């Protein structure tokens, strides 16, 4: 990540209000899209993001340095979402309360904006439905957010190689289940070629 992330974060930690505002403006849209993959309730998504920014502001003096603000915020927001869902469903075990990643909403919105051909849209959604939530989540991080496999590993608490293997298995599954044209359409959509 650029040195500017490290400098911006340092300024924020030291109490620079403009740095805080800059971080918010730069990442709020990505955080919103990310959180919407876990929670469909827009108000709850907004509350979690607001709580995250309040929390980092209040605790800024004790925060660790980072040279990758986006990854730092994604990890923190994922924890915030988990805690929000856990409070909501106290009678369910922690494992059952873990948010399940779903990319359908983000993909549908993006497809409406970028693609007018309904049959292609339906095909991509059909292909996504064959993937498990774990595969969808890693594909989202890699191709929507542009995270490296190392960053995905940190975010999902796994080795970078494991994240890469999951993507490769997902692609293999899609290649076996769909035509080469459909698989190419899928790659084209997610890699923004």
pLDDT in tens, 52-96: 999 999 999 899 888 899 999 998 998 888 877 766 655 444 445
Identify the CATH number of the domain defined by range 3-97.
1.10.1740.10
As given in the structure block, the two tokens for residue 110 are 């993006």
Q: Write out pLDDT tens, residues 134-145.
A: 898 888 888 888
- Whole-angstrom distance, CA of residue 129 vs CA of residue 133: 9
Residue spans in the chain of domains classed CATH 1.10.10.10? 104-191
Q: Does domain 104-191 have CATH number 1.10.10.10?
A: yes
- Note the pLDDT of residue 53: 94
The one-character DSSP state at 125 is H
Residue 186 · residue 174 · CB < 8 Å: yes
Residue 151, number of CB atoms within 10 A of its CB: 21
Residue 170 to residues 2, 51, 106, 118, 177: CA-CA distances in angstroms? 31, 34, 19, 24, 11
Residue spans in the chain of domains classed CATH 1.10.1740.10? 3-97
Supply the pTM of this predicted model.
0.62
**Block residue for tokens 């494991």:** 162
Q: Write out pLDDT tens, residues 12-58.
A: 999 999 999 999 999 999 999 888 888 878 888 899 999 999 999 99
- Whole-angstrom distance, CA of residue 35 vs CA of residue 101: 9
């Amino acid at each position: 990540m650029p040195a500017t992330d490290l400098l911006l974060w340092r300024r924020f930690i030291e109490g620079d209000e403009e740095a805080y505002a800059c971080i918010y403006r730069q990442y709020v849209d990505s955080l919103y899209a990310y959180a919407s993959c876990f929670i469909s309730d827009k108000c709850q998504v907004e509350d979690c993001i607001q709580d995250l920014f309040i929390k980092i502001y209040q605790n800024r003096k004790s925060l660790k340095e980072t040279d990758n603000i986006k990854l730092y915020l994604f990890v923190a927001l994922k924890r915030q979402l988990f805690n929000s869902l856990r409070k909501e469903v106290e009678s369910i075990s922690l494992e059952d309360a873990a948010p399940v990643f779903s990319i359908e909403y983000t993909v549908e919105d993006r497809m409406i904006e970028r693609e007018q051909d309904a049959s292609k849209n339906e095909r991509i959604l059909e292909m996504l439905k064959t993937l498990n939530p774990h595969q969808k989540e890693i594909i989202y991080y890699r191709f929507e957010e542009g995270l490296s496999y190392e960053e995905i590993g940190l975010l999902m608490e796994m080795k970078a190689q494991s994240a890469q293997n999951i993507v490769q298995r997902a692609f293999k599954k899609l290649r076996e289940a769909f035509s080469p044209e459909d698989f190419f359409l899928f790659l084209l959509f997610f890699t923004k070629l």
